[in-house]
Amino acid sequence: MKNLVTIFFVLSFGLNALAQQTRDDINIPDILGYKTLKCDFHSHTVFSDGNVWPDLRVREAFRDGLDAIAITDHIEYRPHKDDLTKNHNRSVEIAKTKENQYDVIVIKGSEITRKMPPGHLNALFIKDSNPIDTADFMTAIKIAKEQGAFIQWNHPFWLKPVFPTKDGKPTWFPIHQELFDKHLLDGIEIVNEREYYPDVYKWCIENNITITGNSDIHDPVSYFFEQDKGDHRPVTLVFSKEKSEEGIKEALFAHRTAVFHHDSLFGKEEYLREIFNNSVKLIKDKAIANKGADLYFQVKNNSDVPMTFILEKDDDDFKFPARLLLPAQKTIVFSVRPKSKDIAGQKELKLNYFVKNFLTGPEKCLKVEFNVTTDLK
Ligand SMILES: [Zn+2]
Ligand SMILES: [Zn+2]
């Protein structure tokens, strides 16, 4: 009997060891007293047209460093419906069984799926998906709203080949205006899967609509995004008072979001500036050299967002690097060159750069300043 017990414990221990999983944290700092939560508000499972069982989404989210995901199976498009329950709540229920184990918040959502217009809209933070399965589109949106939903218009540029527009750009149809006017449109994806829509970003800025960027993943995440090559799914950054579903919901309605897509950040200047300030540090800001020689400085990036700096303009006496590349989690050394051998003594310099991949608007980059001291003997 003792041997059997020993075997049981050895086996259990063995199984636990197999259960170990590794998380790749996304290092983007907290800002302005808020937690910077990494979220994906659009994903599918076999309960609509996805190819994974719901609990895998939670394990993937843990591995990818996310704090929260929404499971948003289509209401109207369910290719496996003959093999699975017709209960629209089931995929989220299954995913929620892994919520505590991985400390990943699972948000209940549904994708209300119509031809364009109005297209596809996610109802997030709903309580019961089944009543949303109704023929009239406006009724479906209103039922979701009555449950406290945040309504996100997904991939506004989708179905472009079916609905070509005059200028080949995403179109804001009258029904979207109606939804917006009736406070039934809270957010829009400016990034979906691998696509970024600059025009949609512009709409959101002009109308103060919450921006999101999500994977809309159907396959296993690693089948679609080449994570071993540094690729990652798009992530919505939510600046939340706390790590909780309520905190995320409050932040979304208050427009406190940004988007991390590929190597770029999209969001309001106040958020991107704080992310920059809390990520980048001039670790050597004073340099001494002989007259006419180059002066060397060092800057460090503590975040997972690489940065490309483009010089705004040179100083009268010194030449600055036209372009600087500061990779994620690295330190670089850069030089400043006096324009003449006659320049001597101490001088405070301001180096003004645009962070090319920090987009505070579709055509606007964050402007930053490095202050250094030169001393030429
Ligand atoms: Zn869709
Ligand atoms: Zn979708």
Distance 111 CA to ligand 2 centre (A): 6
Q: Which ligand is nearest to the CA of 110?
A: 2
Q: For residue 161, how far is its CA from the centre of ligand 1 (angstroms)?
A: 15
pLDDT in tens, the chain (377 residues): 555 555 555 555 555 556 689 999 999 999 999 999 999 999 999 999 999 999 999 999 999 999 999 999 999 999 999 999 999 999 999 999 999 999 999 999 999 999 989 999 999 999 999 999 999 999 999 999 999 999 999 999 876 555 556 566 788 999 999 999 999 999 999 999 999 999 999 999 999 999 999 999 999 999 999 988 889 999 999 999 999 999 999 999 999 999 999 999 999 999 999 999 999 999 999 999 999 999 999 999 999 999 999 999 999 999 999 999 999 999 999 999 999 999 999 999 999 999 999 999 999 999 999 999 999 99
Q: Pseudo-torsion of CA 131, 132, 137, 142, nearest 10°?
A: 80
Which ligand has the minimum distance to the alpha carbon of residue 48?
2
Q: For position 159, what pLDDT does the model report?
A: 61
Nearest-ligand number for the alpha carbon of 70: 2
How far is 60 from 291, CA to CA, in rounded Å?
56
Domain limits of the chain?
22-262, 279-376
Q: Measured in angstroms, how far is the CA atom of residue 129 from the centroid of ligand 1? A: 16
Q: What is the pLDDT of residue 157?
A: 82
CA of 234 to the centre of ligand 2 (A): 14
What is the 155 CA–ligand 1 centroid distance (Å)? 7
Compute the distance from residue 28 Cα to the ligand 1 centre, in Å.
28
Ligand nearest to the CA of 115: 1
Task: Give the closest ligand to the alpha carbon of residue 158.
Answer: 1
**How many whole angstroms separate alpha carbon 308 and alpha carbon 325?**
5
Residues 291-342 have pLDDT tens digits of: 999 999 999 999 999 999 999 999 999 999 999 999 999 999 999 999 999 9
Q: How far is the CA of 101 from the centre of ligand 1 (A)?
A: 29
User: Which ligand sits nearest to residue 218's alpha carbon?
Assistant: 2
Ligand 2 centroid, distance to 214 Cα (angstroms): 9
Give the distance (Å) from ligand 1 centre to CA of residue 120: 5
Question: How confident is the model at residue 20, as a pLDDT?
Answer: 84
Nearest-ligand number for the alpha carbon of 119: 1
- Which tens digit of pLDDT belongs to each residue from 104-143? 999 999 999 999 899 999 999 999 999 999 999 999 999 9
At 169 the pLDDT is 78
Fold match flag (22-262 vs 279-376): no
What's the gap in Å between 119 CA and the centre of ligand 1?
A: 8
Q: Which CATH number fits domain 279-376: 2.60.120.10, 2.60.40.790, 2.60.40.10, 1.10.8.590?
A: 2.60.40.10
Please tell me the predicted confidence (pLDDT) of residue 73: 98
Domain range 22-262, its CATH number among 3.90.650.10, 3.40.47.10, 3.20.20.140, 3.40.50.2300 = 3.20.20.140
For residue 356, the CA-to-ligand 2 centroid distance in Å is 30
Give residue 200's pLDDT.
96
